[in-house]
A and B are shown apart, each in its own frame.
Chain A
Amino acid sequence: DSGVTQTPKHLITATGQRVTLRCSPRSGDLSVYWYQQSLDQGLQFLIQYYNGEERAKGNILERFSAQQFPDLHSELNLSSLELGDSALYFCASSVAVRDRGNTIYFGEGSWLTVV
């Protein structure tokens, strides 16, 4: 158990709908990362937050948005869902101190199936 908690674990929804994925980082971690894993695209970096502020952005679609709240939990919002959005969405967290190696720890992921 990495200490990173993600909910829901599984989600099935229809095209055009909107979902919210939630992540609670490890105790003491200030950084949260979101990744999308699909069979054809591998593990894609979406976005990173540090202490409530967006720090780095990757290949995140405009239909997707995220935020990190004052209590450091984060939410990833996916809207106007398409079949191709079906994937395993990981949240990860880290202390975000480069000199300490800054390993990022992954949650169990949220399986999203769009039908």
Chain B
Amino acid sequence: ELKVEQNPLFLSMQEGKNYTIYCNYSTTSDRLYWYRQDPGKSLESLFVLLSNGAVKQEGRLMASLDTKARLSTLHITAAVHDLSATYFCAVDGGTYKYIFGTGTRLKVLA
């Protein structure tokens, strides 16, 4: 059974700092997705990573995928308050059953 783990679960960081969120998964997959969720709101798609070594960047966020290590990272550069949200990774295990990680609740302090 596919399991997806994220760490850290909670992240409190100062504005202007850099940090990385990690997403590990347990079975082979070359499809990984990152989503953002604001409190009480829907999930918004951030990145789609479709192959080993894939890297995508949007603003202060950059996501990468290492399928051999079964690891994806979401790197935050020079954090700003607007990035405060919960970030989820999701893995397609090949059966269209998208399994989500536990989520990382990010709080950026001014």
Residues on A close to B: CB < 8 A?
2, 31, 33, 35, 42-43, 45, 48, 50, 55-56, 58, 88, 90, 92, 96, 98, 101-109
Prevailing SS type, chain A contact patch: strand
B96 touches A109 (CB 8 A): no
- Of the listed residues B42, B48, B92, B102, the one surrounded by the most CB atoms of chain A closer than 10 A to its CB is B42
List chain A residues, Cβ under 8 A from B98. 33, 45, 104
Residues on B close to A: CB < 8 A?
31, 33, 35, 40-45, 48, 50, 88, 90, 92, 95-100, 102-103
- Of the listed residues B95, B96, B99, the one surrounded by the most CB atoms of chain A closer than 10 A to its CB is B96
CA distance A109 to B90 in the complex (A): 18
CB-CB nearest in chain B for A33: B98
Expressed in whole angstroms, the minimum distance between the Cβ of B42 and any Cβ of chain A is: 5
